[in-house]
Amino acid sequence: MIRLAFASLMNRKTSAWLTLLAIAVSTLLLLGVERVRTQTQENFANTISGTDLIVGPRTGSTQLLLSSVFHIGAMTNAIRWESYEYLQKLPGVAWHIPIALGDSFAGYPVVATTPAYFDHFRYANQQPLKLLQGAWFSEDDPIGAVVGAEVAQRMNLTVGAELTISHGAGGISFSDHDTHAFVVRGVLAATATPADQAIYIPLAGLGLVHGEFIDDASHGHEHEHAHEPPVYSLSAVLIGLTNKPLALRLQRQINTYGGEPLTAIMPGLALTELWRTLNLFEKALFAVSTLVVATGLLGMLTTLLASLRERRREMAVLRAIGAGPLTIFGLLVSEAFLLTLAGVGLGIGLLFLIVHLGSNLLLEHTGMLLRATPLTTAELTLTGAIVVAGVLLSLIPAWRAYRNALADGLTIRL
C-alpha cells in the first residue's frame, strides 16, 4: 500500500511537493518556537548558579535580576559602601561579590568587581569561570581588565590590549574615561551566558576613572588613603550562604534594614517570576505556530479533496485490477501519511540546518544561544501530533473516495 501511495504521489509531483513544503515550513515554525522558548529559558536559568541572594537598592525583583546578572536595563539607585560592609557582617554569609555598573565599552557592559567574582561566581551546573588566555586581575592592579569571549572576538582584543571605557550603558556613552586606559589581563572562555558580553574591571579601577579612588603607589605615598573604599556606591551584591535555609531570614532582615532601602531577592524565585510574566507571550507564540501547522494540514486536505474528482478514473482502474473500496480508503490515508511524515522530516532537517548555520549570527546580533541538540520529548510529542493530525484529516477524503468507489463500481459516473 505504501509503494502504491508513493507511486500515486509521484504521478502528481507538483501538488505533492507544494503540500510537503507547506507542512515542512509549518513544522519548522512550531519546533523553532518551542526550541527558542525552552533553550532561552534554559540559558537564563544557567546564567547564575550557587548564588543565594542578590542585594540591590529598593526596586522590583525582576529589574534587579536583569540588571545585576543579565546586564539588561539600568539601576536608578545605588547601595552605599557602608551598607555593603553591613551585608558582609551578617551571620551565615560565606562570600560576597560587590558589583558596580553604569559604564560600557563599545556598547558592552563594564562590570566593576573584585577578584572574589572569579572565585565564587558559578553558572550552569556550578561551573566556574575559566580563562582562555592570560590571568585574572588582582586587587593591587587597578587598570587590569578581563574580557568576555564574545567581546574579545568581536573587538579583536587580546592580552595586553588597551581599552577605554565610557560612562553610560546600553550603547549610549556620555563621555569617555580616556584619562585612564585599562589593559586586558585575561580573556574568558566562552560560557554561552551574559559573561561572554561583559568586561570586568577592579572596583578600584572604576573609582580611579570616576575620581573616587586615589592610587597611592602612582602618587608616591603609602597608606594615606588606605581606609578609603575604592568606590562610594555599588549597584548590587551577590551573596553566598553557609546554610541555604538562612536565605529567607536574611532576605527579610535585609529588606527591613534601616540604613537605606534595600531589596534582597533569591535568583531562582526571581527567574520563576520572570517566566510567569512572559508566560502569556509564550502561549501567544505557540498559538500562532499551531495555527500555521493547522493551515498546512488544511492545505493538504484541500489538495486531496480537490483531486478526488480528477482521480475517479484512477480509482476505477484500481477497482478493475482487483482493488476493493477499503483499498481505495487505505490509499488516500497512506498518501496523507507519507506527505505528513516527509513534511515533518523535512521541517526537522531545516530546523537543524538553520540552527547549525545561523546560531553564531543569532548570538552576535541578539545574544540568544540556540544549540542543535537532539529533539526533546516535548518536540517529539509535537511532531507525533502533527503526523497523527495529518492522518486523521485524511480520513475525510479517504471516506469520500471509499463512497465514490462503492457508487461508481467499474463505471465512472460524472
- The pLDDT tens digits of the residues spanning 288-317 come to 888 888 888 888 888 777 776 666 666 666
Helix (H, G, I), strand (E, B) or coil at 201: strand
DSSP E strands in 65-191: the ranges are: 79-80, 93-105, 108-113, 122-123, 127-128, 131-134, 144-147, 162-163, 166-167, 175-176, 182-188
Q: What is the pLDDT of residues 72-86, one digit of tens each?
A: 877 778 999 999 999
Co-location of 70 and 38 in the same domain: no
Q: Which of 235, 265, 295 is the last residue of a domain?
A: 265
Whether residue 273 lies inside any domain: the answer is: no
Residues of the domain holding 212: 53-265
- Cα–Cα distance for residue pair 135/123, rounded to 1 Å: 20
Whether residue 271 is contained in a domain is answered as no
Is 13 found in the same domain as 151? no
CA-nearest of 2, 235, 273, 269 to 99 is: 235
**Does the pLDDT at position 217 exceed 60?**
no
**Which residue has cell 540552527?**
355
Which three cell numbers, joined as nine digits, stand for 359? 546560531
Q: Which residue, 137, 154, 160, is CA-closest to 197?
A: 154
Backbone angles phi, psi at 361, to 5 degrees: -65, -40
Distance of CA 290 to the CA centre of its chain: 21
> What percent of the chain shows pLDDT beyond 70?
80
Whether residue 126 lies inside any domain: the answer is yes
Whether 250 and 300 share a structural domain: no
Is residue 62 in some structural domain? yes
Residues 96 and 156 in one domain: yes
At residue 178 the predicted structure's pLDDT band, cuts being 50, 70 and 90, is low
Q: Indicate whether 252 belongs to any domain.
A: yes
Last residue of a domain, one of 243, 265, 287: 265
Does residue 348 sit within a domain?
yes
Q: Single out the residue in 265, 299, 333 at which a domain terminates.
A: 265
Q: Does pLDDT of 186 surpass 90?
A: yes
- Tell me the pLDDT tens digit for each residue of 1-22: 667 666 666 767 777 888 888 8
Q: How confident is the model at residue 227, as a pLDDT?
A: 61
Kindly list the distances between the CA atom of residue 216 and the CA atoms of 51, 112, 221, 281, in Å, as whole numbers in the listed order. 34, 20, 5, 54
Residue 193, domain member (yes or no): yes
Both 6 and 107 in a single domain?
no
Same domain, yes or no, for 230 and 341? no
Residues 194 and 290 in one domain: no
CA pair distance 11, 16, nearest whole angstrom: 9
In a shared domain, residues 84 and 24: no
Q: What's residue 262's pLDDT? A: 94
- Comparison of pLDDT for 187 and 325, the residue scoring more: 187
Alpha carbon distances (Å) from 130 to 47, 55, 195, 386: 15, 25, 11, 43
Q: Decide if 270 is inside a domain.
A: no
**Element (DSSP H or E) covering residue 194:** none
18 and 92 together in one domain: no
Within a 10 A sphere around the Cβ of 24, how many other Cβ atoms? 21
DSSP 213-279: ---HHHHT-SSTTTTS-S-SEESEEEEEESSTTHHHHHHHHHHT-SSS-EEEE-HHHHHHHHHHHHH
Domain count, the chain: 2
Give pLDDT, residue 223.
Answer: 46
Name the most confidently modeled range: 74-88, 170-184, 346-360, 398-412.
74-88
Please indicate, yes or no, whether residues 137 and 119 belong to a single structural domain of this protein.
Answer: yes
In this structure, the dihedral spanned by the alpha carbons of residues 274, 276, 280 and 283, taken in order and rounded to 10 degrees, is 110
